[in-house]
A and B are shown apart, each in its own frame.
Chain A
Amino acid sequence: MTLGLTALELARIQFAFTVSFHIIFPAISIGLASFLAVLEWRWLKTKNVVYQDLFKFWIKIFAIAFGMGVVSGVVMSYQFGTNWSEFSRIAGGVTGPLLAYEVLSAFFLEAGFLGIMLFGWGRVSPRAHFFATLMVAIGTCISMFWILASNSWMHTPQGFSIENGIIIPQNWFEIVFNPSFPYRFIHMAIAAFLVAALLVSATAAWHLLKGRRDALVKTSFSMALWLIMVLAPLQILVGDNHGLNTLHYQPAKLAAIEGHWETNKNEAMPLYLFGVPDMQEERTKYGVSIPYLGSLIMTHSLNGEVKGLKEFAPEDRPNSLIIFWSFRVMVGMGMLMLLLAVLGLWLRRSDRLYESKWFQRFALYMGPSGFIALLAGWFTTEVGRQPWVVYNVLRTKDALSPVSASQVGITLIIFVLVYFVVFGIGIYYMLKLMHKGPQFLSSHSEEHADVDQTPMRPMSAVEESLAKLESIRENRHD
């Protein structure tokens, strides 16, 4: 059951596997929670049932993503103890309280108000319901705040001392607001919003391609594309600044990302578009590069010096081949997102946004791009931190539990099987829902009977929404 690998390798594969699966779901729920809050706010403000119906559609996807985020997240928190007990023992003084804050301040806020958000229609007033939605949206962001504080501290640790080999926190403000935290937090938040926006636009594109042209599909397509138009350029800007921060605090990671081996003294660093960094030969093979661009991006000056990977001892270097490519995948996806949004803007000008087939196909294929960029980005930053688990403080190999390779191997196989079955089905259900698409609920569809049959809901409200619906349908035929 060890697959010829050591316990350390297996534990790393297991963590990478479970966390990669996990992150997909919180990204959807963080992004969609805010989108849902906006939809409900628009509905309360305009009383336009389109927003309400969109809300009731996307909340289903949100609910599935949230449920799966919770269950896969529980696995993560327990792995710190089961697989990485030395990390917990040595660094638990810092990461333990941060994780506790995450659970306390956000998980509970979400889980509590979530009940009202999902099942409370008609049982509480619309305003109270909106408040619950808002709290869930804020809760997801607070949750992200603490997790990223902990993760960023592992990248750029400060505010602690070491006594008897144990990390002792000294200054919590310095620990939470460590140098890489603000960049990582904003970068991740925008990434999650982009994930959701691309999901919404791809779903709308699917239904446009199938011929639907009603207000639900058009509104969601338009809203999502506006969002991407704002977020994609912003993300590129934030990402660039995050890169400068990495150059300052984790120069080895940056050199590995760029396949940059020799420090460029008095000459400009080129930027590789393509290449195969070779860790043994200490060079980047088959490189295709643009002169000056490396220095320009990395240092914002033409001949700026950037430390090469050879400046670091071989045992302190992260794997350049992996993060050279994961980084390029992320950036490539970001550029495609920008292209999508700009093309959308251009089509809007000539009123062809809802008619252009090739554009809708493009938007559809871009649906998973948010996830791909997200995972590629996380691979870049996490593999780039190696061989450290707490940068320059604790090595990954010293963080492992006293467990055998066979134990970790068995649980890894179980995790792979269970995750593909369970979360595979979850993703299938989400896709099925998206395939069905948002519906006009105020018509007498049986599936949504729960909304209208709730006894506390005044009948007048139902009639009113029906009337609104009629007027929208008339408008549609204009």
Chain B
Amino acid sequence: MIDLSLIWIVIIGIGVLIYVILDGFDLGIGILFPFIKGSNERDVLMNTVAPVWDGNETWMVLGGAGLFAAFPLVYSTVLSALYMPIILMVIALIFRGVAFEFRFKANRTKHLWDKAFIGGSIFASFLQGIVLGAYIQGIKTLNGVYAGGQLDWLTPFSVFTGIGVVVLYATLGCGWLIYKTDAEIQEKMFSMMPKLIIAVFIIFGLVSIYTPLSQPQIAERWFSQPQLMYFSPVPVLVLIFTGMALRACKQKKELSPFIYTLGLVFLAYTGFVISLWPYIIPPSVTIWQAAAPANSQLFALIGALLLIPIILTYTIFSYWIFKGKVRVGDTGYH
């Protein structure tokens, strides 16, 4: 008997990782917007992601739909536990999404759409961080129904992870812009990138120290033998990647800073998975306990296996079609 729940958690896990990376850098561009003043320069920033941003965002919908199909219990308990941050995040994404479309069409109201774009991007990222923090701290359930309070999600830790995600996305956006732009914008980004990388490193460090301290279950996972040996490469690699990213900035490499930041995201994600596995509604419900009927998981899996390769192929294709630098004065895609 194949373990459908395991296959599904891998698919959803990869989907979420792709989302964090892709929407991470395009939300990051919104976060970096205040640092770039000129209207033409801001056009360049937006044009670097204009053809792909909505495709990026659909990975979040895939993650949600995958959860709904394969683990409806997670969908129902986690979403009602995180009611406010999730709805507010979706609204922030709406503002950001329409700002994208309308900014290019507006003249007098352009500055308003700039603000909507900045605010929407920062708020959406912050709330995603809150959701992450609240999720790591655990969702109280009783017989498959959320049993916690309305504001359980709001803790100093979740606010901190909220800020952390904003900084992380800004770093991804910065790396992307170094790759996609040149001249003044690129210079500006080169000067910001090292500070952002160091900030990410510090935040990762603090979260990694605080989480096992506050949750014995997670400490047990990391620090008992023989796991300690298997997992020790993770923090070591974080150090190495941070150093490489900083060096690449110094050497004015165009692609490497972005790639190393992606590496850091991947490592953080690995750490997250190691800490929580196999609980999907932490701290107590495992992926198998939360699984949909096998019949549902199998039916949805057929579609996923058929279509995800196609989706991946054209995602790569779209990026390839719109490859190359974006410059001031380009007519852009609008």
* A-to-B contact residues, CB < 8 Å: 63-64, 67-68, 70-75, 77-78, 80-82, 85-86, 88-89, 92-97, 99-105, 107-108, 111-116, 118-120, 123-124, 166, 168-170, 172, 401-404, 407, 411, 414-415, 418, 422, 425-426, 429, 449-450, 453
Contacts and interface: CB of A to CB of B under 8 A. Distances in A.
A211 to B, nearest CB: 26
Given A85-B76, A103-B62, 11 more contacts: A74-B94, A75-B91, A75-B94, A92-B292, A96-B75, A104-B303, A108-B310, A115-B52, A401-B146, A411-B84, A425-B98
Most A C-beta atoms less than 10 A away, residue of B86, B292, B296:
B296
A451 to B, nearest CB: 9
A415 B317 CA distance: 36
A113 B137 CA distance: 40
Nearest to A88: B76
Nearest to A432: B105
Interface in B57-107: 57-58, 60-62, 64-66, 68-70, 72-73, 75-80, 83-84, 86-88, 90-91, 93-95, 97-98, 100-102, 105
Interface in B272-329: 292-293, 295-296, 299-300, 303-304, 307-308, 310-311, 314-315, 317-318, 321-322
A95 B50 CA distance: 33
B263 interface: no
B205 interface: no
Contact of B65 (A75, A102, A114, A411): A102
- For chain B, what secondary structure do more than half of its interface residues adopt (helix, strand, loop), or is it mixed? helix
B101 A401 contact: no
Interface of B: 50-52, 54-55, 57-58, 60-62, 64-66, 68-70, 72-73, 75-80, 83-84, 86-88, 90-91, 93-95, 97-98, 100-102, 105, 144-147, 150, 292-293, 295-296, 299-300, 303-304, 307-308, 310-311, 314-315, 317-318, 321-322, 331-334
A401 B218 CA distance: 30
- For chain A, what secondary structure do more than half of its interface residues adopt (helix, strand, loop), or is it mixed? helix
B300 A119 contact: no
A60 to B, nearest CB: 9
A102 B303 CA distance: 10
B303 A101 contact: yes
A93 B304 contact: no
Contacts of B75: 80-81, 85, 88, 92, 96
A411 B307 contact: no
Contact of B54 (A82, A114, A116): A114
Contacts of A107: 58, 61
Most B C-beta atoms less than 10 A away, residue of A81, A401, A402:
A81
A422 B86 CA distance: 19
Given A68-B98, A75-B94, A115-B321, A402 B300 contact: no
A23 B78 CA distance: 27
A100 B69 contact: yes
Contacts of A120: 321
Nearest to A102: B65
A75 B293 CA distance: 26
Contacts of B97: 67, 70-71
A462 to B, nearest CB: 15
B64 A77 contact: yes
B296 A96 contact: yes
Contacts of B292: 92-93, 96-97
Given A74-B90, A401-B80, A124 B321 contact: yes
B79 A82 contact: yes
Contacts of B299: 97, 169, 172
Contact of A105 (B102, B303, B318, B321): B303
Given A82-B80, A93-B292, A94-B296, A99 B146 contact: no
Contacts of B58: 70, 103, 107-108, 111
A86 B75 CA distance: 10
A157 B311 CA distance: 31
Nearest to A171: B295
A424 to B, nearest CB: 11
Nearest to B63: A103
Contacts of B64: 77-78, 81
A86 B95 CA distance: 29
23 contacts: A70-B54, A71-B93, A80-B68, A81-B78, A82-B86, A85-B77, A86-B76, A88-B79, A89-B145, A96-B65, A96-B300, A100-B304, A101-B300, A104-B304, A104-B311, A108-B62, A115-B51, A118-B51, A119-B322, A401-B80, A401-B146, A411-B84, A426-B101
A247 B274 CA distance: 55
Contact of A404 (B61, B78, B146, B150): B150
Shortest 4 CB-CB contacts between residues of A and residues of B: A92-B72, A81-B79, A85-B76, A97-B300
A119 B72 contact: no
A25 to B, nearest CB: 11
Given A104-B303, A115-B318, A418-B91, A89 B144 contact: yes
Contacts of A415: 91
Nearest to B109: A425
A16 B250 CA distance: 55
A118 to B, nearest CB: 7
A118 B146 CA distance: 43
